[in-house]
Amino acid sequence: MQRRVVLVLAALVLALAAASASASTPPPVDAKAVLVADGRTGDVLYAENADRRLPMASITKLMTALVTLERARPREVVTVAPQAVGQGGSSIFLVPGEELRVRDLLAAALVQSANDAAFALAAHVGDGDVARFVRLMNDETAELGLDDTRFVRPDGLDRRGHYSTAEDVFELARIAMREPLVRELARTRTMRVGNRSFRNWNDLLWTFPGLIGVKTGHTDRAGWAEVAAARRRGTLLYAVILGSPSRSERNADLAQLLEWGFDQYARFTLVREGERYATAAVPFSEERLGLVAAEGASRVVRLGSGTTFVERIAAPGMVELPVRRGQKLGEVVVTDGDRVVVRSDLVAARDVEAPSFGDRVGWYADRALDEAGDLLAAVVPGL
């Protein structure tokens, strides 16, 4: 039976450094509402007027896509209804009676931001009644808890009472990006459907490293809007701008916000592969066996978040022989509060063979001689 001991270290030094670091000031942005948030945790890094109700233009089409995918299959064929034609704004110039797949119309709506494609989907899912589809959009909004969002149209063109907030847009985008088809289309730069070519209006897909979507928008009332998502070094960030005065300013401000957001995170090594974390006694030997981490692990930490990682090591006091290099003998566990962040095996750093009978006899003899010498020295001082 192996005797096990547990060592508890107060905290990892690097994590403490992360916790004490101060976040930098976000860049100035000329827009009516702004938000930057962690896409994984939902934590908001920066917000300005994020709860203000504003028109969000074609960002609306994210909800159009969600409602469509809940009620129609991507390969399902849509016959274009007359009310879908001639909606104005961005368009793929649909013809009444034309047949396209749901997937193709979603591509037109999310990549090309085509208003006629959004209406074609709405008429199809709404059984010819676009108003019914809009009610489904608002029902979905209520179910998702987007209390400051209301839809009047499936495309996002200006209408009184059609609004959202930067907070709700962020949540809507996160939910929409859970759909594989939305994720695929949101990052698509260009594509062809039949004889039509689509080009994504999201300029950052060409200019910002790590961008994975999500949706742009523009109308006279909404100004220039976008919810953008990017992934770098294990961090997923969303940035929302509503009511920017121009396309170029929106793009530049979003890029600065995302760069600033990524600067608020750092990756720290929590377990180093091959590093010795404990030692164990070896029977019939004065040597100790090193126990090393089988695998390394690191985590991204938000600076200034107060995160403190605690490292616990479970290891045997003495090993049973023989031992083979790489044999699991313990583990190192890193926690953040009650949550286990990392668990890595501790393995033997080398082989240790079982001692022969002669080795054991010799070891006992040496111990006996040592003890006898100690006893004699105690009886005859100065010997």
pLDDT band at 9, cuts 50/70/90? very low
| pLDDT of amino acid 308 | 85
**pLDDT exceeds cutoff 90 at 371:** no
| pLDDT of amino acid 303 | 87
**pLDDT exceeds cutoff 80 at 379:** no
> Any idea which fold 3-16+269-352 has?
Peptidoglycan synthesis regulatory factor (PBP3), Domain 2 (2.60.410)
Question: Would you state the structure tokens that stand for residue 369, as one six-digit string?
Answer: 């001689």
Can you give the residue ranges of every domain in the chain?
3-16+269-352, 24-263
Over residues 302-320, mean pLDDT = 89
| pLDDT of amino acid 369 | 52
Question: 148 to each of 53, 59, 204, 216, 266, how far by Cα in Å?
Answer: 7, 15, 27, 19, 34
Q: What is the per-residue pLDDT across 105-129, written as a single tens digit (0 to 9) for each?
A: 999 999 999 999 999 999 999 999 9
Question: Which of 194-203, 322-331, 358-367 shows the lowest mean pLDDT across its residues?
Answer: 358-367
Give the number of other Cβ atoms within 10 Å of residue 17's Cβ.
13
pLDDT band at 261, cuts 50/70/90? very high
pLDDT band at 177, cuts 50/70/90? very high
pLDDT band at 250, cuts 50/70/90? very high
Most confident of 12-21, 202-211, 285-294: 202-211
- Of 131, 122, 75, 140, the C-alpha closest to 101 is 75
* CATH, range 24-263: 3.40.710.10
**pLDDT exceeds cutoff 60 at 61:** yes
Cis bond upstream, residue 245 (ω within 30): no
Over residues 223-251, mean pLDDT = 97
Over residues 170-184, mean pLDDT = 98
**pLDDT exceeds cutoff 90 at 170:** yes
170 exposure class (CB count in 10 Å sphere: 0-12, 13-18, 19+): buried
Give the number of other Cβ atoms within 10 Å of residue 235's Cβ.
20
Question: Would you state the structure tokens that stand for residue 131, as one six-digit string?
Answer: 């108003």
325 contacts: CB under 8 Å, gap ≥ 6: 347, 348, 349, 350, 351
Over residues 272-289, mean pLDDT = 93
| pLDDT of amino acid 367 | 60
Over residues 150-164, mean pLDDT = 98
| pLDDT of amino acid 75 | 97
- Furthest-apart CA pair in the chain: how many Å? 114
Q: Is there a contact between 102 and 76 (Cβ–Cβ < 8 Å)?
A: yes
Q: Distance from first CA to last CA of the chain, Å, rounded?
A: 41
| pLDDT of amino acid 8 | 39
Please tell me the number of Cα atoms within 13 Å of 382 on its side-chain side.
0
| pLDDT of amino acid 47 | 98
Average pLDDT, the chain: 90
| pLDDT of amino acid 1 | 34
3-16+269-352 matches 24-263 in fold: no
What would the DSSP string read from start to end of 228-274? EEEEETTEEEEEEEEEES-HHHHHHHHHHHHHHHHHTEEEEEEE-TT
Question: Would you state the structure tokens that stand for residue 251, as one six-digit string?
Answer: 């793009």
Q: Is there a contact between 164 and 59 (Cβ–Cβ < 8 Å)?
A: yes
